[in-house]
Chains A and B, each alone.
Chain A
Amino acid sequence: GESVGLHLPTLSVQEGDNSIINCAYSNSASDYFIWYKQESGKGPQFIIDIRSNMDKRQGQRVTVLLNKTVKHLSLQIAATQPGDSAVYFCAENTPPYDKVIFGPGTSLSVIP
């Protein structure tokens, strides 16, 4: 069945460094991908998205890369800050876009 998985369950980075969180997906029919950030005690919060007709999209301090050939996407966070500490989920959506499927999540810890 369809699934979205993460290579690294935990990631620790030094404040100011760049962070890279990776994700693999298995459903080749998925054409829309989203990264969510979940802080303790809160619901998932949209960070950035990308459609399958793109391979890169940039936001404020974040970049998402999509490699459809190997079904892989990544989230890059520039100049990581303590406020970036959270669990990050990649998620995919597939026509008719009636449910977002989440990966297991990566916990990002920023070391001051």
Chain B
Amino acid sequence: DSGVTQTPKHLITATGQRVTLRCSPRSGDLSVYWYQQSLDQGLQFLIQYYNGEERAKGNILERFSAQQFPDLHSELNLSSLELGDSALYFCASSVAQGSYGYTFGSGTRLTVV
């Protein structure tokens, strides 16, 4: 157990729907990072939050959004889902805003049908 908790582990939904993925960082970690892992794109950085504020953004689609709450858990919202959004979504956390490496959760597998 890495200490980073992601729920749900699996999610199956239809195209056009909206889902919310949840992440609880490791105790003491203030930064949360979201990554998308698909077969043809590898691990792609989506977005980083530090202590409730957005700090860095990657190739995140406009249909996707995230936030980090006062208790430091984070949610990734995916809307108007397309088949191509099917992927593993990982959350990672670190102590600081700028950290060398992260601790990853076990991921949420999203399947869009």
Contacts and interface: CB of A to CB of B under 8 A. Distances in A.
A interacts with B: yes
Contact of B103 (A32, A46, A93, A105): A46
A100 interface: yes
Interface residues of A, number: 24
Contact of A44 (B55, B56, B98, B104): B104
Contacts of B4: 43
Interface in B31-63: 33, 35, 42-45, 48, 55-56, 58
Contact of A45 (B42, B48, B97, B104): B104
A96 B98 contact: yes
Contact of A49 (B43, B90, B100): B100
Interface in A37-59: 41-46, 49
Interface of A: 32, 34, 36, 41-46, 49, 89, 91, 93, 95-105
